[in-house]
């Protein structure tokens, strides 16, 4: 396709695209693996290149010509150098320093605490008979977990939710810039407080102290960037995994009944939730370091590129009858957490939170059902989820 595809117009409107982008992605996949597109509003719109389809996306994730560092450098909204804005060898250095402390053992040890937080949230929610599942469970659970993991003191949940949403799903450039400024100031103060207090066991304190064998450490700028990445990405993915996963179950009562009857299906069900309607719709921006030819279409040097994760999960070349939600499907190989060197560090934590939250919710609410339509889908093409999910039991 030579023309620019306006994704909102292609779907019949921006709201329609955000509610269900998959038919648009299917039409694009049939035409080829890469397209010059205009992103839908509200919020900042862009002209960029979108890669669709499972194999094309998987290849793009490991293509050294598609880099993470913007060719013009970082602007004033930058909160610090972190893994999503860096390429080798800097990326390997940062990831090595972070994984020294953000270990599988540290994540696994969180399971009892995640269960306790879930139980407390459900204790408050269940007697009411109905709730917005996002506000009552899907948001507060991963938010409290990541704050405790990082050692973030009590902060206003409403304020943080507003900042986080404006960063991952902005409705205007001004609101997005204000949210970046606000969270940057918050993180600077938090890091300085931790430097000046007695050593603690939390992850952020450990990252401040950690030193590689050669004496390398995270700079203040890098610490702020990594704290931002862990705090925002560390909860947003889980919020939408829980919300989208529960909505998929409630939209497919036969699958819900099967899971209730056999909870040994839960691990596979979570993988199917990630494939079918995962929390991340497209990966964060990449840039063409040189002209990149993909199946005869050339992405010009310097152009921004989005790798489609949601479209990869619905590719019929990879998954049979991909629009069918089937918790018994072997969904392994999906790209919900990316692929290659930028594979999501927090994937084990998100999976654990999803399994615990969904199992506990179904056990405590045997008659769980939707209580109206979701209020609105998040705008933008980064995170896939709803602002509210009304349910009753």
Helix (H, G, I), strand (E, B) or coil at 339: coil
Q: What is the pLDDT of residue 230?
A: 85
Q: What is the pLDDT of residue 214?
A: 64
Model-wide pTM > 0.85: yes
Q: Is 233 in the active site?
A: yes
Handedness of CA 336, 340, 345, 347 (dihedral sign): positive
Q: What is the pLDDT of residues 342-372, one digit of tens each?
A: 999 899 999 999 999 999 999 999 999 999 8
Which CATH number is 138's domain given?
1.10.630.10
> Helices in 196-315 by DSSP H: which ranges?
203-209, 220-251, 253-261, 266-277, 310-313
Q: Band the pLDDT of 277: cuts 50, 70, 90.
A: very high
Q: Is 135 in the active site?
A: no
Q: What is the pLDDT of residue 217?
A: 79
Handedness of CA 237, 350, 283, 325 (dihedral sign): negative
| Separation between Cα atoms, residue 343 and residue 346, nearest integer Å | 9
- pLDDT: is 199 or 273 the higher one? 273
Point out the catalytic residue in the list 176, 271, 281, 353.
353
pLDDT at 375 over 70: no
Q: What is the pLDDT of residue 2?
A: 58
Q: What is the pLDDT of residues 9-64, one digit of tens each?
A: 999 999 999 999 999 999 999 999 999 999 997 767 899 999 999 999 999 999 99
Q: Is 344 in the active site?
A: yes
Point out the catalytic residue in the list 233, 269, 303, 350.
233
Q: What is the pLDDT of residues 71-126, one digit of tens each?
A: 766 544 467 778 888 899 999 988 888 888 888 888 899 999 999 999 999 999 99
Q: Is 56 in the active site?
A: no
Q: What is the pLDDT of residue 129?
A: 96
Handedness of CA 379, 237, 312, 99 (dihedral sign): positive
Point out the catalytic residue in the list 14, 205, 238, 360.
238
Point out the catalytic residue in the list 56, 248, 336, 344.
344
Own/partner contacts of 16-23, CB < 8 Å, gap of 24 or more, are 18/376, 18/377, 18/378, 18/379, 19/377, 21/281, 21/310, 21/381, 22/310, 22/311, 22/314, 22/323
Q: Which of 184, 158, 149 is nearest to 79 (CA)?
A: 184
Q: What is the pLDDT of residues 129-172, one digit of tens each?
A: 999 999 999 999 999 999 888 888 777 677 778 888 888 888 78
Point out the catalytic residue in the list 176, 222, 236, 271.
236
Query: Range of 164's domain?
Result: 5-392
pLDDT at 1 over 60: no
Q: How many domains is the chain built from?
A: 1
Q: Is 353 in the active site?
A: yes
Mean per-residue pLDDT for 175-197?
Answer: 86
């Amino acid at each position: 396709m030579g023309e620019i595809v306006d994704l909102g117009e292609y779907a019949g409107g921006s709201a329609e695209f955000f509610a269900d982008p998959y038919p648009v992605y299917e039409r694009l996949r049939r035409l080829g693996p890469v397209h010059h597109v205009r992103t839908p509003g509200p919020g900042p719109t862009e002209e960029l290149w979108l890669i669709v389809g499972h194999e094309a996306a998987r290849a793009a994730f490991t293509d050294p010509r598609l880099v993470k560092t913007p060719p013009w450098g970082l602007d004033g909204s930058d909160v610090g150098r972190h893994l999503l804005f860096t390429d080798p060898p800097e990326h390997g250095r940062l990831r090595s320093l972070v994984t020294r402390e953000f270990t599988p053992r540290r994540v696994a040890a969180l399971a009892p605490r995640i269960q306790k937080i879930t139980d407390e949230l459900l204790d408050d929610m269940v007697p009411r008979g109905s709730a917005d599942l996002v506000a009552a469970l899907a948001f507060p659970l991963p938010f409290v977990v990541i704050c405790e993991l990082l050692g973030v003191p009590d902060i206003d949940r409403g304020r943080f939710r507003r900042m986080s949403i404006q960063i991952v799903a902005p409705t205007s450039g001004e609101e997005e810039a204000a949210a970046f400024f606000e969270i940057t100031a918050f993180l600077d103060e938090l890091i300085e407080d931790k430097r000046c207090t007695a050593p603690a066991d939390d992850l952020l304190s450990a990252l401040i102290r950690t030193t590689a064998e050669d004496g390398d450490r995270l700079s203040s700028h890098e610490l702020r960037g990594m704290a931002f990445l862990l705090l925002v990405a560390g909860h947003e993915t889980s919020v939408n995994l829980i919300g989208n996963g529960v909505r998929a179950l409630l939209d497919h009562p036969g699958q819900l009944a099967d899971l209730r009857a056999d909870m040994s299906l839960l691990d596979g069900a979570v993988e199917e939730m990630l494939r079918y309607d995962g929390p991340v719709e497209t990966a964060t921006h990449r840039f063409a370091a040189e002209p990149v030819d993909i199946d005869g279409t050339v992405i010009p040097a310097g152009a921004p590129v989005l790798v489609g994760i949601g479209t990869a999960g619905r590719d019929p070349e990879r998954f049979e009858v991909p629009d069918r939600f089937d918790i018994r499907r072997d969904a392994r190989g999906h790209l919900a957490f990316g692929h290659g060197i930028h594979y999501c560090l927090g994937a084990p934590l998100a999976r654990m939170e999803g399994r615990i939250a969904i199992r506990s919710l179904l056990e405590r609410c045997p008659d769980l059902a939707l209580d109206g339509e979701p209020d609105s889908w998040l705008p933008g093409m980064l995170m896939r989820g709803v602002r509210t999910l009304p349910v009753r039991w």
